[in-house]
Amino acid sequence: MTNFDPAFFVEVLVGGLLSGVMYALVAIGFVLVYKTSGVFNFAQGAMLLFAALTFVSLVEKGVPFAFAFLVTLAVMALLGIAIERTVLRPLVNKPPITLFMATLGLAYVLEGSAQLLWGTQVHGLELGIDDKPFIIHGVLISSFDLFAAAVAAGMVALLAFVFQRTRIGLAFRAVADDQFAALAVGLRLPVIWSAVWIAAGVVALIAGLLWGARLGVQFSLSLVVLKALPVLVLGGFDSIPGAIVGGLLIGATEKLAEVYLGGYVGGGIESWCAYVFALGVLLIRPQGLFGQRLVERA
């Protein structure tokens, strides 16, 4: 590009930041489980898909929007409890690779169950938001992207309040800091872990509705977790603020790289530049920008 247009640059940057908030919302589902139990939940994408399919299928059967949301919320809460009791609890104190493989298998079970229940057809999902762009100070902004970012930001604020101001949030943080100390003061780890998986299910529902409205509710929706991986690497697997900052950085980097560098490499840079960015961070700071540095004693 020979001429630099500041208004266009801001427009691309804002679009990337709005997308980044949605990446962060998916990443937070990973962080919640990993921070309190040390499990990298690869099934988060399948949970997202299951939630979106359940909701849209209920709506298509004539169930009112609000009631369908409440029913799906209850389904995801029960699913979170079931996962904790049938998958996590029997594998407590097992090696991390065992837990990871368990969640990988769980992802396929959830996708197969969703296929049996709801079929394989693509569903359109309307949230009642008009996607007409509007202009603010010469910057073109998507109405849906702004709505999705506002919902995601509200979810993040709610989680921050729960973690900082409620008893269950304090219990989450205690378990995350030291499980043995949490047990010593009387906290029941299975109850805390169940609550965490319920929260992960709720986050999966919100993320599933937003991404489903953007991309359509289809089985490829579960692959949105791949967008969250560089966010987690960048921000840290155990940091909610890191997931937020990482999402914003990845979203902005993708859009700016595609617009300003894509022409030099034949295009398509948006699909892989985030992983290059994440690899660079791994080489410099393996725990991420906000992750805790692990100290091992011989």
pLDDT tens per residue, range 139-158: 777 788 888 888 888 887 88
Residue 266: Cβ within 10 Å count: 7
Is the per-residue pLDDT at 295 higher than 70?
A: no
The band of 292, judged by pLDDT with boundaries at 50, 70 and 90, is low
**Is 210 within 8 Å of 151 (Cβ atoms)?**
yes
The candidate with the shortest Cα–Cα distance to 282, out of 295, 269, 271, 291, is 291
- Between CA 168 and CA 20 the distance in angstroms is 28
Nearest to 114 by CA among 55, 32, 199: 55
Residue 69 has pLDDT above 90, yes or no: yes
C-alpha neighbours within 13 Å on the C-beta side of residue 84: 23
196 Cβ contact partners less than 8 Å away, ≥ 6 residues apart: 32, 33, 36, 37, 84, 172
pLDDT computed for residue 142 by the predictor: 79
Q: CA-to-CA distance for 264 and 236, rounded, in angstroms?
A: 31
Contacting residues for 266 by C-beta, under 8 A, at least 6 apart: none
**Regarding predicted confidence, which is higher, 287 or 205?**
205
Going by pLDDT thresholds of 50, 70 and 90, the confidence category of residue 1 is very low
Percent of the chain with pLDDT over 90: 11
pTM of the full predicted structure?
A: 0.85
The pLDDT assigned to 68 comes to 92
Residues in the chain: 298
- For 189, residues 6+ apart whose C-beta sits below 8 A from its C-beta are 175, 179, 182, 183
- Report the mean per-residue pLDDT for the chain: 83
- Among 54, 53, 26, 41, residue whose Cα is nearest residue 107: 41
Structure confidence by residue, pLDDT tens digits, 226-270 = 888 889 888 888 788 888 888 899 988 888 888 888 777 767 788
The residue among 176, 200, 153 whose CA lies nearest residue 29 is 200
